Amino acid sequence: MNYTPEHFEQMSAKFAQAKQEISTFIVGQHEAIDYTLLAMVAGGHTLLEGLPGLGKTMLIRTIGEVCDLSFSRIQFTPDLMPADITGTSMIERSEDGKTDFVFKKGPIFHQLVLADEINRATPKTQSALLEAMGEHTVTVLGETRKMEEPFFVLATQNPIEMEGTYPLPEAQVDRFLCKVVLPYPSKSELKEIMVRTTGTTSHDLQQVLSAQEIREAQAMVKHVLVADDLMDYAITLITSTHPESSTLEPITRFVQFGSGPRGLQSLIRIAKARAFLAGRLHVSIADLKQSVKPVLRHRIRLNYEAEALGYTPDHVLDLMIEELAKA
């Protein structure tokens, strides 16, 4: 299908309306709202990290209400088993007395899946999400079943330094298109949260986006153009995170390992989604620069020196972009 600039403007306005509706209930957390919607447009999954009580779960529930998607919530705990996520085959007796194996779908078989406190579960259970996130299929007892499209996993996690948490396997972390770190709310935001949550005023959220519109947006974003020089810059951003070949001092000094090819794919997808939601048919250099931290902060591993100095991936990525600008 040939999309016109009017198509892009109309769909961009639709997502802007959805963002506005979410913001009527969620106070602040603009980056989390932006990149969750961007990841949905780009067809990817989002990881939200923050301390308890910052509204991670409420944000995802709100997005589920604004978008007309089937929704399920999985509370990850240390005793959660893979079959609790994917489902399992059970013996059932029919009315005529015969018995047969019947597959009972798990909560993963929804369009919007909230994986709450994902790092509370063991690595074995966390890995049950890998196939669903990467291939949009689930294989149980040798039989592969497809997920209903669109399919998104929105996961929350507490900082891994907290007790009772398990660091996510690198393979699974890489499956998330972007990672958003939720900050503490400001004083004015705290006041607004109290007004909205402790008073008598209630707010009924309106459904703004349908599953069909999200699928259409995912098809449209693929038509956003990336100029050759911007593609080269995106590749430079990724290769600059590799300490064994980078010439940038912040990377060679503080990074243990950098991003792989999926990081480049994610960077381009998010940059295209940013351009799309701005109503543009082409990616700008600002789209790439503003996408670096959400896309790469979970794809680089800092070494002990960086941790000893209190550096975060965001800090190192900022230094990297500054050094590239000087080159």
Residue 312 belongs to what domain range?
224-327
At 178-218, the pLDDT tens digits run 888 877 777 877 777 777 767 666 667 777 888 888 888 88
Q: Decide if 235 is inside a domain.
A: yes
- The whole-angstrom separation of Cα 266 and Cα 299 is 11
Q: Tell whether the model's pLDDT for residue 160 goes beyond 80.
A: no
pLDDT at position 268 over 70 = yes
**Mean pLDDT calculated for residue range 302-314:** 88
Please state which of the ranges 123-127, 192-196, 291-295, 315-319 shows the lowest mean pLDDT: 192-196
CATH number for the domain harbouring residue 255:
1.10.8.80
- Kindly state whether residue 307 falls inside one of the protein's structural domains: yes
Cβ atoms 153, 111 nearer than 8 A: no
Cβ 285 vs Cβ 230: under 8 Å? yes
For residue 72, being part of any structural domain is answered with: no
**Tokens 């939601």, residue located:** 277
Residue 96: is its pLDDT beyond 80? no
CA of 327: how far to CAs of 152, 208, 227, 268, 324, in Å? Answer: 39, 45, 21, 22, 5
- Residue 261, pLDDT > 70, answer yes
pLDDT tens per residue, range 218-257: 888 888 889 999 999 999 999 999 988 888 888 888 888 8
Q: Which of 136-145, 201-210, 301-310, 318-327 has the highest mean pLDDT?
A: 301-310
250 found inside a domain: yes
Higher model confidence: residue 99 or residue 248? 248
Q: Are 216 and 40 in contact (CB under 8 A)?
A: no
Provide the whole-model pTM. 0.83
Say what the pLDDT of residue 54 is: 67
Q: What is the DSSP string of 133-202?
A: HHHSEEEETTEEEEPPSS-EEEEEE--TTSTT--PPPHHHHTTEEEEEEPPPP-HHHHHHHHHHHHSS--
**134 domain residue, yes or no:** no
47 found inside a domain: no
- pLDDT above 70 (res 267): yes
Overall number of domains in the chain: 1
Q: Tell me the pLDDT of the chain averaged across its residues.
A: 82
Q: Which two tokens stand for residue 263?
A: 């990081």
Q: Does residue 284 register a pLDDT over 80?
A: yes
Could you tell me the two tokens for 194? 């109290």
For 98-102, 143-147, 291-295, which range has the lowest pLDDT when averaged over its residues?
A: 98-102
Q: Using alpha carbons, select from 166, 164, 185 the residue that is nearest to residue 127.
A: 166
Does residue 186 fall inside a structural domain?
A: no
Count other Cβ atoms within 10 Å, centred on residue 218: 19
Instruction: State the greatest distance between any 2 C-alpha atoms of the chain, in Å, as a whole number.
Output: 77
Q: What is the pLDDT of residues 6-56, one digit of tens each?
A: 777 888 888 888 888 887 777 777 778 888 888 888 888 888 887 776 667
- Report the pLDDT value the prediction gives residue 281, as an integer from 0 to 100: 87
242 assigned to some structural domain: yes
